Amino acid sequence: MRLFLVYFVLVVAANQVFCAEIQEEKPIVYLIPGQGADARLFKNIELDSSFEVQHINYFTPEKGSGMTEFAKKLSLQIDTTRQFYLVGVSLGGMLAIEMGDFLKPDKIIVISSAKNRKEFPFRYRFQKTIPVYKIIPSPFVKMGARILQPIVEPDRNKDKETFISMLKDKDPKFLSRTVKMILEWDRIEKGENIVHIHGDNDHTLPARNIYFDYLVEDGSHMMVLTKGSLISDLINEELVNAK
């Protein structure tokens, strides 16, 4: 009888611990950076404490990989047994939308991105027709990005060292293959359960082509880093309302 009581107490205690762990599980927010960035892009983003934050880490895709294929491989980093949300910037937003088709997150937030190729500027659509990018060697793609980024998006100079460091650490093949991936993206559907935050001063993906939910005044393509507090507020508003 005494052994039975001891066993009963242990079972009850274990069950209480198990239930407590379940109750403490927070929804996960997965942050997906842009093409020339990594987790450091989100250093100024502060999410509500009721969420757990995880970063999606890039690797160099195989030659010829398309957006959908790359999204499926990156999605292996996502725990779909728990409630989760996707927040993607630029290329990360496009990948999040592709993931949404087969992962069904509770919500997708895209920032400084495009939901399909209809939202691309003309120069992107033109290059799919006349693919000059195919003859440019990978090292020159990285060199071009280092030269053009501060010219096209001067706002990045507000945190110049971070942008230089992130781009410096990028594999030239990653940049070359993801350029091809973006320019050849053939998606025409918007996708479901998506919130789009865009800047009115985005020179990479101009707002005039975008169907956005929030337009950030003086927001550039780099605003996740340069306007972290404001972007954090918008993300938190959407995530908390979605719980």
User: Of 8-12, 14-18, 213-217, where does the model show the most confidence?
Assistant: 213-217
Number of C-beta neighbours around residue 84 at 10 A: 20
Distance of CA 156 to the CA centre of its chain: 18
pLDDT at 111: 98
The 10 Å CB-count burial string (b at 16+, else e) for 21-49 is eeeeeebbbbbbbbbbbbbbbbebbebee
Mean pLDDT of 180-203: 93
Q: Which residue has the higher pLDDT, 147 or 37?
A: 37
Q: Tell me, what's the pLDDT at 9?
A: 43
Q: Which pair of structure tokens corresponds to residue 192?
A: 């479901």
Q: Is the pLDDT of residue 146 over 70?
A: no
pLDDT tens by residue, 108-136: 999 999 999 999 997 776 555 545 445 45
Confidence label for 7 from pLDDT (cuts 50, 70 and 90) = very low
pTM of structure: 0.84
pLDDT at res. 118: 93
Q: Are 98 and 69 in contact (CB under 8 A)?
A: no
Residue 53 in this model has a pLDDT that exceeds 80? yes
Measured CA to CA, the distance from residue 100 to residue 116 in angstroms comes to 13
What does the pLDDT look like over 149-160, one tens digit per residue? 665 677 777 888
